[in-house]
Structure 1
Amino acid sequence: MTSFVPGQRWSSAAEPELGLGTVLRLMGRSVQIVFTGSGEIRQYALTGAPLIRAEFRSGERVWVDGRERTVETVEERDGLFVYRIEGDEVHEGALDAEQPLALADRRLLAGQVDRNDRFEFRVEALEQRARAQADPGFGVLGARVDLIPHQLRIAELAAARRPVRLLLADEVGLGKTIEACLIAAQQLASGRARRVLVLTPDSLVNQWFVELVRRFNLAFAVFDAERCAALEAAAPGTNPFEDAQCVLASVDWLARDAARAEAATAAGWDLLLVDEAHHLAWSPDGASAGYRLVERLAAATPGVLLLTATPEQLGQAGHFARLRLLDPARYAELDAFVAEQAEWVALSALVERIVEGAAPDATQRALLARLLQQDAAAVDARLQTAAGDAAAREELLDALIDRHGTGRVMVRNRRAAVGGFPRRVAHLETLPAGDDGAAAARLREEFEADAGRRAETAADYARDPRTDWLLRTLEELAPAKVLVLCRTRARVQALEEMLRTRADLAVARFHDDMSLLQRDRNAAWFAEPDGARVLLASEVGAEGRNFQFAQHLLFWDLPLDPDVLEQRIGRLDRIGQRGDVHLHAAAVAGSPQACLLRWYHEALDAFTAPVADGRELARRYGHALVGQALDAGGDAFEALVADTRATHAELAEAIARGRDRLLELASQRGAEAGALLQAVADADAGSADDDYPLRLLEQFGVQHEPLGGAQWLLDPEYVTVDGLPELAAGKRQATFDRALALARDDLLFLRPDHPLVLAAQDLLLSGDGGNAAFLVDATLPPRSAVLEAVYVLECVAPRALAIERLLPPTPLRAAVDTRLAVRSEFAPSDVARLRAGDRDIDLSPYRKALTTLVPKMLDGAHAAVQEQVEACIAGALAVAQARYAAELERLRALARVNPAVHPDEIAALEAERDAVLAVLPNARPRLDALRLVVGGDFLTALRGR
């Protein structure tokens, strides 16, 4: 076992950019190491840790107090190294954290060299990693999402906030969850966030888990009472929420458990996501336990994302309550907020006039003059110009958007503005009741179970009145694919059994008792053109899944919650759906289900348009609906339908009146021309011809075989290393094609930021494979050699600075010959590279000669690369200065007209700028790989030395 001593210096082989670390303490079977340069503390197992002891030999260069100096001698005292450096005694703890640690020269001097192809692939891997980390899309390149402009634009805007605190309030179906996950993925990839907490209602925990894993490759740990108890039992006295960096939990559970809520708050987070935030009740007189929990977490967490229903659904107090969580200083008084909102509602009418090119009235012109701080004549002139000039009109709207208070903390897109949504086509039937009393009783029992009034009974659909309708509908729709949804796993299994005996159909099933991999495979079978025609899915099993390649959704039963119905429809009715969505539902006359179907269709119009006020309607009428349905309708039910319809119309009118038109324009501004959208699209365009991920995996024995149709089969049969968990279960299929990855959840979407690619890349670059190579090139002059040195320019910095976007670990190459002349243009001949093939060469007999020859050449290479180092640092500094200058200029201009821009936000950006400009000059080149290229007679000459 490796011996660790507090004070020793170590480097992470997997993350050399952390700089030199110092052993803090030994803790049982682990060691804790602090990386002061990057502000990280890591805990490693004592055995198998990816750590390299920092030991510098006589003649090697080290950095002390920002100066590069030469080691004269080294001795070990009590497990710690003490260096004699230019006459001074320097303990290893005094070495700078920004200390490159090189191993390639030691391998070459020992005669331990690899094949030429391994050296060249290592260099390619360094280049690929640098390009990927500098890509603006890194972190979301491999997200399994459509490139929808408004979603990527929101992620891009969030990345520019310090910190990000946003209310995501898009209309249903526009992808609030995807937007939040895009932001979280970027924050994690950039290092701005390391600890993320996601809180959702009980019913959505599974959906979020699937969404995070399947779409974004983000593995969140689901925490509940049982998991916390197990963690505490294993490690008494510890906070269970510190066991994982990314946690997903139920807000309802934490709100009920004060001790767990306190532990979650004390654990500390960088980013908090709260779904369905409108469930958190607040009034000036008090707040719910859930609201108080989120309030405490939001106050202690830099980044906060709240996902909520549209503001018009919340009422002014509810909307204020959500904004208050994000910015309690700005939104401190409800009355002041109500007055401010009244002005912005009035402004919405003005904006509509400007958009339409119509003349505002006198009141609206006065409002515009006050907002723009211009006199009436100037405003009239500006309006006159805007009426006939589209560019001037956009400029005027931009000026108003900049002054919009809630536009800084809130995003709100509408389906009508985004476009691209399908039409809903309802196919509803009332089935004859017949005289089967037992069947009617079973339907009543099923409804009571759905309403929570009794336990679920065993389902048998052999004699169910809906069975013939289901079979007839499936036959009429052939060969179209049909998604059949019902509430429970038991119903899925009963339907599958019935279809197996009554129909000759290829049927896949999909329920919550299946593993994610099983669900992926069944979904893939359903997606295949020649695969399953029908997918039977339970409500929970289908959460987080979209089947946009299908256009027919059949409801075996209906949920009692309008929001759940909307979620079901949302499996097909999503932005990007290519055709109309056909909704099929039937109910037996006189049954409770028939009343429910009528209520949805006649009162809510739920099968032809999204229901924005469904939660409020369920709150007001849900209890009465269940009672009336069980009483088989009648006059009271007819009155309930009429009342619901009237209330629905009133709420729809209130929503329309309360629209913030300016906020909607702000949310759409620049979406089509977003830099993130362009970056991901460009990466997609180049991915089809880039087989780097396949060749990378091949380095570890993963064989690949083309399957056609942009698919590959990855076979890990000959893999001999750990660290590739995606292949632990055996063969996997993969693709580089986004459209195919969207249609097939079972395919690995291999992009530069996919966990499998990153893991393989880390395994390669943290090892010594290919870092020392030898090549014979007969085209070189007799008895000559060229040493190629590949350095990686690394900037040790706190991860929150996201320094890689300015200066990723950049490979630099220097070459010198035996006369120490710089050979910048040198490249070995293709013939030499071809002849090298996969032959291994043993240089151990030449170690003495190499020790004489290589160090001088390496000194020359080190000197030669300094010019490149200075150029790279200068370039990164110039880019950083320009970016921060532009961002700060824009932010200060906004602050002058928009009270939502805090001085703290400007100060945070200035502090970040100063920190970035301070660390960039400290970037150091680390020797990563060496290749000694010699003439045909060079080895013969070496033997004589």
Structure 2
Amino acid sequence: MSDFIPGQRFISDGEADLGLGTVLNCDQRSVTVLFAGGEQTRTYSVREAPLTRVVFGSGDRIETDEGETLIVSHVEEQHGMLIYHGDTREGASRQLPESRISDRMQFHQARDRLLTGQLERNDAFNLRYRSLQHLQRIERHPAFGLSGPRIDLIGHQLHIADEVSHRRLPRVLLADEVGLGKTIEAGLILHRLLLTGRVRRALVLVPESLTHQWLVELLRRFSLEVTLLDEAQSRELDTDSNPFESGQIVLASQQWLFADEHRQRQAREAGWDLLIVDEAQHLHWSPEGSDHGYACVAALAAGISGVMLLTATPEQSGAMSHFAQLRLLDPERYHDFDAFQAEQSGHVAIANAVEAIEHLPDESARATVETASDDSEIRELLEQFDTATVSERPGLQQQLRRILLDRYGVGRVMFRNSRRHVGGFPERRLHVETLELPQGYRRTLRRLERDEDYLDELLLDTGLNHPDVLLYPELTFEALRQEESGEAWWRFDPRLDWLRGWLKQHPGEKALVLCHHADTALELAAGLQVLSGLHVPVFHEDMSIIERDRAAAAFADADREDGSPLLICSEIGSEGRNFQFCHHLILFDLPPHPDQLEQRIGRLDRIGQHQPIDIHVPTLAGSPGEALMLWYRDALEAFTRSHGLGSHVFEQHGDTLFDALLDREALDRLIGESRALLEQTREEREAGRDRLLEYGANDEQHAERMISAVRELDEDERLDRWLDQAFEVFGIEVRGLDDELRYLYPGPHMLEGMPGLIRGEEGFSATRSREKALARDDVQRLSWEHPLIREMLSRATEGALGNAALALLEHSAIPAGRIMIEAIFRTRTSEAHHLHPARFLPPTTVRVLLDESGQELSDKVSFGGLAKSLRNIRKAAARDLIRERHELLRQLLDQAEGVASERLTPIIEHAGSDMHRALEAEIERLRSLAQRNPDVREAEIEALITERDTLAEAIDGTRLQLDAVRVIVTVEPRR
């Protein structure tokens, strides 16, 4: 007869997610089980039924079918059925037949899964323990949150990101000069705040022309999934829902949002932790009123604790605009423009004192420092300087500098670095090649010079805009030949012949070719293929991200068979991409705005570029394009210098410039006027330069510490060993491509939901090398912060994977059949996750190893040493062993819990001490600063005090939880 009796409770060994099953009926051949929780019925062969009887013991908690919880005191058996005796949470005694256990009761906890025979692979158990150890280590690491992004390690960017992301209420203005990486700084801050849980939702508002660039930057550099929201997408969503609630990070166009009051109201109601606004200098405010954009941002900022404004160099936009931006961050602090100007003038003395520190102990330098501040601590340091040795003086100078900048600077609110302080930029070399204007373009140009009305006629006939119809003759030619037969423009345009000649003169070298329009880029590539047989990848805005990756990879990798010496990009298509491995830039044409020209050059002219930038401009003699080149070169020095003043001059002279494209005398006058305006603006900016702000924006010692910390995680060999284990457990296949590159792809048994990998589809190339990933956009960089690795860490430590296992230990000195348990406990701090308590108390493991007599062996037998000596056992045999030793295992688990609990107190005390020491010091520092520096808001101090108290309560409430357990059975060594 069968051992199964209707009403008994079992779980399916192969489908544990079905929950608790009830035997409906059975005979000599089969048994039918109802899994009511999953509304499924299964019929099994009696002789090979993959079922495990559910039996609870003293101390276990059972969910009843009435929703109560019963704590078991003892169990009795009647006619093959189990009856549990125990007490409810309210203390009432009760009997519970096993048939009355809740059908929806799940077994995810380690103890339950072990005792019900739901066992995992040993390598999954090993991975779980190692993952917990790595989390404990990396979440306390000073570079956590900053080491994953695909960026160069640039000191001032890491300094700003670390400084701001540690703020309780980060409200700052990022105002670095062009090319120093404001977008990267904002992305780093956002990335860390998201990773640490301090920010959950963020709204990013940028000019419409920059939405694609931001989308690419956040995805490619920071692996952040962004919802790009516009009116069309908003309407596609449910009309009753708020479209701003459709994503964790929402990216939207300023022009779209600022123009729609209904969408603004929805944005305010969506609930954000962080607001990022790019190009904030375009938000206009005055004491008399503000524009729609400023009013919108002000209303949003008033309800969001974290705000980051990105802006051009403040002096460019004027003192009133600068004040208006600061007013968005703290309207109580910045409420009076006159008082703000008076305060700014007082910074000169402090800046002079900071500069004088370098010349101590010179008497005049000392007097400058003493005059700037009557601070007692500064006086004491100056006195120490008098008796200090030569080796001690640099440290004292650094302390003096830090105190002055901390207490009197404005770095609490605003960060700005300039190229003069950062350094490391390459030389720019301009090469202009003047070519004969071809007959195909000359006819149109000559008629334009003779007939003033022809321009209007041309605009109508071609559908082009002014000045495009003048600056891009190939587009005008193509538009006019639509109704006529004739050859394509690239067959006679001398710029194409010049480009072919350049390739012959520079064998083995690469060049980035930029065109203003995608049509020009596509036709140029077609012409090169026809005339030279050279297949050149094109990079433009209508391509998908994957297509762009492939084009960039073909250009970046010289070793590939399809590698190309050229990459042809359109204006918008190249936004957000870094091609600094190349140093030749060919400007096939010129953009109509100096900011676009600087953006083009900025694709190559970046920190970390080790070669001079060679800028090649093939221009057509006597054409409007040549006129524009002359204005850029002679009036703005735009090709050879990055001064950030081109936009200001263009605002004043842009209309005159386009009118002068066909009038060389007018152009010459304009060049002189524009050059004079440039010099005047440069002098005004230099005179008004806030030196104090520049000194405070970059702490070189702190920056070096952050670079070293990031490199430490970059070079962490433990990640490579962990990856080998994780890929095996999660079913991810790996194929080596070269020493630094490997290809990851889904294996046949890969678990679902792995970021970047879909079963049955292709995978992706990956590297651990930061340099390799920076050189190739199609290669992902594996770090502890990569989405795939974060997902595997999460699954290895938060789900049921690997939390119950059984293994065999061959040991000649231990009798066969002896039992040991290896119990892994972890700390659980359930509150204050938004304050990132893991920096003081990350998930901490307590390992307890007991033999069956209860003797503790944790200190005598290491985890790694034991794991290497274990071997697997078939699951069916393992379940039999579990059933046979149920009572012993319960006793050992209870004893392990007691041993682990004794180790919790010092863990909590150590974490609490670290937290109080760190936050108390910061609270005292801010209180001291607030006495002299009004940029330290009382709200920030109060938030820090609340954080300290909340964290203290959370750490004190930390409890240990059995996270994983492995039963080890000794066997005789195999011969």
Q: How high is the TM-score relative to the length of structure 1? A: 0.85
Contact 2:378-2:400 within 8 A present in 1 as well: no
Report Cα offsets for 1:317-364 as digits up to 9, x if no partner: 1111111111111111111111111222454455445546697989x9
| Pairing of 1:646-685 with structure 2 (within 5 A) | 646-671=676-701, 673-685=703-715
Q: 2:670 maps to what in 1?
A: 640
User: 1: CA distance between counterparts of 2:853 and 2:839?
Assistant: 39
> Amino acid of the residue matched to residue 638 of structure 1?
D
Contact 2:431-2:617 within 8 A present in 1 as well: yes
Q: 1:760 maps to what in 2?
A: 792
Task: Give the C-alpha shift of residue 552 in structure 1.
Answer: 0.5
Q: 1:6 maps to what in 2?
A: none
Task: Give the C-alpha shift of residue 192 in structure 1.
Answer: 0.8
Contact 1:156-1:674 within 8 A present in 2 as well: no
Task: Give the C-alpha shift of residue 289 in structure 1.
Answer: 1.0
Report Cα offsets for 1:111-148 as digits up to 9, x if no partner: 33333333222222222233233323223322101111
Aligned to 1:134, the other structure's residue is in SS state coil
User: 1: CA distance between counterparts of 2:268 and 2:867?
Assistant: 62
Structure 1: runs of 5 or more not aligned: 1-45, 49-54, 62-70, 92-99, 939-945
User: 2: CA distance between counterparts of 1:228 and 1:748?
Assistant: 32
User: 2: CA distance between counterparts of 1:589 and 1:404?
Assistant: 56
Q: 1:75 maps to what in 2?
A: 64
User: 2: CA distance between counterparts of 1:792 and 1:151?
Assistant: 36
Task: Give the C-alpha shift of residue 82 in structure 1.
Answer: 6.5
Q: 1:9 maps to what in 2?
A: none
Task: Give the C-alpha shift of residue 912 in structure 1.
Answer: 0.2
Aligned to 1:788, the other structure's residue is in SS state strand
> Amino acid of the residue matched to residue 249 of structure 1?
A
Among 895, 907, 911, the residue aligned to 1:872? 907
The 1:404/1:815 distance shift into structure 2, 3 A limit, reads: same
Contact 1:273-1:306 within 8 A present in 2 as well: yes
Q: Which has the higher contact order (CA 8 A, sep 6+)?
A: 1
> Amino acid of the residue matched to residue 200 of structure 1?
V
> Amino acid of the residue matched to residue 493 of structure 2?
D
Contact 2:825-2:960 within 8 A present in 1 as well: yes
> Amino acid of the residue matched to residue 896 of structure 1?
Q
Contact 1:496-1:507 within 8 A present in 2 as well: yes
Aligned to 2:179, the other structure's residue is in SS state coil
| Pairing of 1:564-603 with structure 2 (within 5 A) | 564-603=596-635
User: 1: CA distance between counterparts of 2:388 and 2:336?
Assistant: 36
Aligned to 1:568, the other structure's residue is in SS state helix
User: 1: CA distance between counterparts of 2:887 and 2:621?
Assistant: 96
Q: 2:112 maps to what in 1?
A: 106
The 1:683/1:657 distance shift into structure 2, 3 A limit, reads: same
Aligned to 2:232, the other structure's residue is in SS state helix
User: 2: CA distance between counterparts of 1:766 and 1:395?
Assistant: 45
Q: 2:736 maps to what in 1?
A: 706
Count of aligned pairs between the two proteins: 862
| Pairing of 1:231-310 with structure 2 (within 5 A) | 231=237, 235-310=238-313
| Pairing of 1:539-554 with structure 2 (within 5 A) | 539-554=571-586
Q: 2:139 maps to what in 1?
A: 133
Contact 1:166-1:410 within 8 A present in 2 as well: yes
User: 1: CA distance between counterparts of 2:387 and 2:641?
Assistant: 39
Task: Give the C-alpha shift of residue 242 in structure 1.
Answer: 1.1
Q: 1:451 maps to what in 2?
A: 467
CA RMSD of aligned residues (A): 3.3
Q: 2:555 maps to what in 1?
A: 526
Q: 2:965 maps to what in 1?
A: 930
Q: 1:487 maps to what in 2?
A: 516
Among 216, 223, 226, the residue aligned to 1:220? 226
Q: 1:14 maps to what in 2?
A: none
Q: 2:890 maps to what in 1?
A: 855
> Amino acid of the residue matched to residue 723 of structure 2?
P
The answer to whether 1:903 aligns with 2:938 is: yes
Computing the radius of gyration over CA atoms, which structure comes out larger, 1 or 2?
A: 2
User: 2: CA distance between counterparts of 1:193 and 1:494?
Assistant: 46
The answer to whether 1:404 aligns with 2:420 is: no
Aligned to 2:925, the other structure's residue is in SS state helix
Q: 1:339 maps to what in 2?
A: 342
User: 1: CA distance between counterparts of 2:224 and 2:898?
Assistant: 43
User: 2: CA distance between counterparts of 1:930 and 1:181?
Assistant: 40
Among 484, 489, 500, the residue aligned to 1:471? 500
Aligned to 1:929, the other structure's residue is in SS state strand
Structure 2: runs of 5 or more not aligned: 1-37, 41-53, 72-86, 95-105, 449-454, 479-487
Contact 2:361-2:385 within 8 A present in 1 as well: no
The answer to whether 1:802 aligns with 2:806 is: no
> Amino acid of the residue matched to residue 288 of structure 1?
D
Q: 1:514 maps to what in 2?
A: 543
The 1:351/1:791 distance shift into structure 2, 3 A limit, reads: closer
Q: 1:617 maps to what in 2?
A: 649
| Larger CA deviation: 184-193 vs 863-872 | 863-872
Q: 2:437 maps to what in 1?
A: 433
Task: Give the C-alpha shift of residue 168 in structure 1.
Answer: 0.7
Task: Give the C-alpha shift of residue 800 in structure 1.
Answer: 1.4
Contact 1:357-1:387 within 8 A present in 2 as well: no
Q: 1:894 maps to what in 2?
A: 929
Report Cα offsets for 1:415-453 as digits up to 9, x if no partner: 121111100011113323354455755999799646367
> Amino acid of the residue matched to residue 612 of structure 1?
G
The answer to whether 1:162 aligns with 2:168 is: yes
User: 2: CA distance between counterparts of 1:383 and 1:869?
Assistant: 47
| Larger CA deviation: 842-851 vs 323-332 | 842-851
Contact 2:930-2:936 within 8 A present in 1 as well: yes
Aligned to 2:825, the other structure's residue is in SS state strand
> Amino acid of the residue matched to residue 75 of structure 1?
T
The answer to whether 1:557 aligns with 2:589 is: yes
Q: 2:421 maps to what in 1?
A: 417
> Amino acid of the residue matched to residue 406 of structure 1?
V
> Amino acid of the residue matched to residue 414 of structure 2?
M
Contact 1:773-1:931 within 8 A present in 2 as well: yes
User: 1: CA distance between counterparts of 2:908 and 2:381?
Assistant: 48
Contact 1:566-1:611 within 8 A present in 2 as well: no
Q: 1:535 maps to what in 2?
A: 567
User: 2: CA distance between counterparts of 1:886 and 1:299?
Assistant: 29
Aligned to 1:403, the other structure's residue is in SS state helix
Aligned to 1:816, the other structure's residue is in SS state strand
Contact 1:496-1:509 within 8 A present in 2 as well: yes
User: 1: CA distance between counterparts of 2:888 and 2:381?
Assistant: 79
> Amino acid of the residue matched to residue 517 of structure 1?
I
> Amino acid of the residue matched to residue 76 of structure 1?
D
Task: Give the C-alpha shift of residue 226 in structure 1.
Answer: 0.6
The 1:225/1:302 distance shift into structure 2, 3 A limit, reads: same
The 1:830/1:397 distance shift into structure 2, 3 A limit, reads: closer
User: 1: CA distance between counterparts of 2:865 and 2:718?
Assistant: 26
> Amino acid of the residue matched to residue 842 of structure 2?
P
Q: 1:686 maps to what in 2?
A: 716
Aligned to 2:585, the other structure's residue is in SS state strand
Contact 1:447-1:592 within 8 A present in 2 as well: no
Contact 1:143-1:216 within 8 A present in 2 as well: yes
> Amino acid of the residue matched to residue 817 of structure 1?
D
> Amino acid of the residue matched to residue 425 of structure 2?
F
The answer to whether 1:183 aligns with 2:189 is: yes
